């Protein structure tokens, strides 16, 4: 490619994600590892499933694999904390991505989902 050409075609042909999607990919992968306990203990204790909460067991969201998003005061800094950002990213993903059984399957489904969302390929 020449320097003046658009990089989007190269990213599509290489099946690479842009930087914002790569950040979502990394946060979602860390969250996936933290849920079954394969991540370090300080990360696994940060998340609570909605289904495990006693006051929300009768809600429709209790049957899904959604995570509880903790409350925060500062909108600029608070939303970047890993338990909050991880829960928000996880809750924004479709069920077919979050219901993967292995890390490699999850990563493959997640990358395909993010790639299709940004590049609008079907």
- 92-to-41, 87, 110, 117 alpha-carbon distances in Å: 24, 9, 12, 12
Tokens standing for residue 22: 């790569």
According to the model, what pLDDT value does residue 4 have? 80
pTM for this predicted structure: 0.76
pLDDT in tens, the chain (122 residues): 777 878 887 777 778 888 999 999 999 999 898 887 777 777 777 777 766 655 555 555 555 677 877 777 777 776 778 888 888 898 899 988 998 889 999 999 999 999 988 877 65
Domain limits, the chain: 8-119
- Please list, residue by residue across 1-10, b when 16 or more beta carbons sit within 10 angstroms of its beta carbon and e when fewer do: eeeeeeeeee
């Amino acid at each position: 490619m020449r320097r003046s050409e658009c990089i989007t075609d190269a990213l599509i042909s290489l099946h690479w994600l842009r930087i914002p999607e790569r950040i979502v990919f990394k946060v979602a992968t860390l969250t996936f590892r933290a849920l079954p306990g394969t991540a370090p203990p300080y990360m696994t204790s940060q998340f609570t499933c909605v289904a495990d909460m006693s006051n929300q067991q009768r809600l429709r969201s209790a049957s899904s694999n959604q995570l509880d998003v903790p409350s925060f005061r500062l909108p600029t800094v608070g939303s970047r904390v890993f338990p909050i950002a991880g829960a928000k990213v996880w809750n924004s993903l479709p069920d077919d991505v979050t219901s993967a059984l292995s890390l490699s399957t999850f990563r493959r489904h997640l990358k395909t989902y993010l790639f299709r969302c940004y590049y609008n390929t079907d």
